[in-house]
Structure 1
Amino acid sequence: MSMTALFEKNSDTVRAQQNRELLLLTGFLVVIWAVTTALSPRFLSPANLSDILLQAAPLGFVVIGQMIVIIVRGLDLSVASIMATVAVLSIGLNDNTVVIFAVGILLGALIGGINGYLVAYRGVTPFLATLATMIVLQGIRFAYTGGAPGGTLPETFRWLATGDLFGIPVALILLAIVAFAAHWLLEYTVYGRRLKLYGDNPDAAYMTGAPTRLLVVSAFMISGVLAGLAGLVLVGYVGIVDNWTGRGYELDSIAAAVIGGAALSGGKGSVPGVLLATLVLVSLFNIVVILGLSIELQLVIKGSLILLAAAVYMRRSRR
């Protein structure tokens, strides 16, 4: 059997497993929503559901990018720092919405490209490369702002993050477009198959003629772009520019990606799975607030979910 045929056969097995995990995640989400609604009917109010979806949108962008990096055996710890840096620099330099988003996307691509270059061409481990980038970006932000970021948020910019179009939040429309594009890219293009083949077996990908180094760089660039976009959407949602925009998203995105089906060993990941895991994550955070529980409980939930993600990963590895 040829290498391509083996990969396709393995892909079918992975899809079946991902479908099972998707059903389990859906069932878990239904259960926690039902229990919370029984305790507090306000949970399913249109206003609260709208808040959950709007909070899930920026994290959803980051999780998709993180998943793509994980598929190529990487890890991006710099996503939160990219979010804050892109927001601070883009909004501080201009007050035109189009320019802000253009600059933000370019900055995200540049930073992601640097991460990818360090990993693919200099042999730095993804953990160390993105950790170093995270720290460097923090220094750049604070040097640029003097600790007090500024800038005016245009009305159209705020509308993109909090407004709606025919009753549908614009941020969710943007996320749906990105999610559809990422799903199509991974499942129906040569590029997507090469990403998964590389994650599954780098040597096999190299022998098929795939530009393996460029694949890694492109994965980190996609993560950088989506993190930058997430930073802008999050700033528009909260209404202020902050040096710590997106703080904690690096761990949240890794947890959501792994729970949603991405394997830290590489080669596996689905957009529907990681988005559903994102919704589960945000729902749990919202439940803490709705039920009037201590806000510190969110940290307990985050830690527990990271442990759950590790358990899920180990279970997949044994399989």
Structure 2
Amino acid sequence: MAQLDATMPKPRPGFLMAAVFERFGLLIFLGVLLVAAALLSPTFLRPANLVNVLTIAAPLGMVVLGQAFVIMVRGLDLSVASLMATVAVLATAFKATSNDMIPAIFVAAIVFSALVGFVNGWLVAKRNVSPFLATLAMMIILQGVRFAYTGGAPISTLPPGMSFLASGRIWGIPVNLMTLAVMAIVLAFVLHRSRLGREIFMVGSNPKAAFLNGIAPDRVTIICYVICSVCAGIGGLFLLGYVGTVSNWVGQGYELDSIVAAVMGGVALSGGRGSIAGALLGVAVLVVIGNLVLLLGFPIEMQLIIKGIIIIGAAAFYRTRLP
């Protein structure tokens, strides 16, 4: 036995290092980024700033959770930001000043979002419209609906409790972050411990093979788009409470940030691979980058350039492949 062990090849250090980067690359990058942020701006580590970072991260995290489901079945959703803004407008349509109306606002937002997600999923799964075109068209439609209702003017009629949900704290922890944690736990269970989750991975990996195994790829795809839109709708309400005023551009940029965060977190655009934890890790990287360039006082042009460069670096760092 000792002779056999002596003849067995030992793993190369480079191979082991590549394996570590493959599994924990983005986490390592986030750690390096946090250290760099602390060194470049002492303000970054102040409790008030850290709480602010977590508060801002929560709505994007909610959108990313849903976007991950869609990407895992080989799709994407460009309508999430427009849906967030439309849901915000829907919330103000109640003209509510009492917290008693908050449950009704959430129910209406979730139902409306589910309907939008169903239409997106139906177009992609049943009519074979490309996810890009289907969700781009939905984005434009929702934008038109918002402008027709608001006339382009901001609205601010909201129950005071919406602000607490979006930026309040319980035991020092942002309420919206608690909500994100609950959503992440539920969706992680669905993805990694339920039959639907197994079907999502199978459809994403090979739709034809999934069909031959008795799975309906169309049904799974539509469900994923519904999940995505509902997550975006909830995120829109929390972002609305944080901003406090509805404009037609609430959530602008979240469609691309959610895709970048999910893919950077290991959700494969080719489908069939990804995790909730990885997607949220991508959110953390994006939010820390945004906060750091803001603290350093860079002009908006430089902020965008630096953000893009760091995102590319993070993705390349995480995507190190085994030889």
Q: Does 1:266 align with 2:266?
A: no
Match of 1:5 in 2: none
2:223 alignment partner, one of 218, 222, 231: 218
Counterparts of 2:320 and 2:251, CA distance in 1: 30
Contact residue 78 and residue 130 of structure 1 kept, 8 A: yes
Counterparts of 2:291 and 2:319, CA distance in 1: 28
Match of 1:103 in 2: 108
Identity of aligned residues (%): 52
Match of 2:195 in 1: 190
For residue 48 of structure 1, report the CA deviation from its aligned partner: 0.4
Match of 1:148 in 2: 153
Counterparts of 2:120 and 2:314, CA distance in 1: 24
Q: TM-score, normalised by structure 1?
A: 0.89
Match of 2:214 in 1: 209
Q: Does 1:228 align with 2:233?
A: yes
Counterparts of 1:113 and 1:212, CA distance in 2: 14
Counterparts of 1:20 and 1:60, CA distance in 2: 24
Counterparts of 2:305 and 2:279, CA distance in 1: 21
Taking structure 1 as reference, are residues 86 and 75 closer, same or farther at Cα in structure 2, changes over 3 Å only? same
For residue 178 of structure 1, report the CA deviation from its aligned partner: 0.4
Report the number of matched residues.
Answer: 302
Q: Which moved more, 1:222-231 or 1:93-102?
A: 93-102
Counterparts of 2:165 and 2:242, CA distance in 1: 9
Per-residue CA deviation, residues 70-99 of structure 1 (Å, 9 max, x unaligned), is 000001000100100111112223422111
For residue 65 of structure 1, give the secondary structure of its aligned residue in structure 2.
Answer: helix
Kindly provide the amino acid, as one letter, of the partner of residue 269 in structure 1: G
Per-residue CA deviation, residues 230-272 of structure 1 (Å, 9 max, x unaligned), is 1110111111111100000111011100000000000011111
Counterparts of 2:23 and 2:168, CA distance in 1: 30
Counterparts of 2:148 and 2:310, CA distance in 1: 35
Kindly provide the amino acid, as one letter, of the partner of residue 52 in structure 1: V
Contact residue 21 and residue 261 of structure 1 kept, 8 A: no
For residue 298 of structure 1, report the CA deviation from its aligned partner: 2.8
Per-residue CA deviation, residues 19-61 of structure 1 (Å, 9 max, x unaligned), is 8555222221121211221222111000000111011000001
Q: TM-score, normalised by structure 2?
A: 0.88
Question: In terms of Rg, which structure is larger?
Answer: 2
Unaligned runs of 5+ in 1: 1-16
For residue 296 of structure 1, give the secondary structure of its aligned residue in structure 2.
Answer: helix
Q: Which moved more, 1:270-279 or 1:94-103?
A: 94-103
Counterparts of 2:317 and 2:103, CA distance in 1: 41
Match of 2:69 in 1: 68
Taking structure 1 as reference, are residues 236 and 123 closer, same or farther at Cα in structure 2, changes over 3 Å only? same
Unaligned runs of 5+ in 2: 1-17
For residue 65 of structure 1, report the CA deviation from its aligned partner: 0.6
Counterparts of 1:268 and 1:20, CA distance in 2: 17
2:280 alignment partner, one of 275, 280, 291: 275
Counterparts of 1:19 and 1:47, CA distance in 2: 34
Kindly provide the amino acid, as one letter, of the partner of residue 53 in structure 2: I
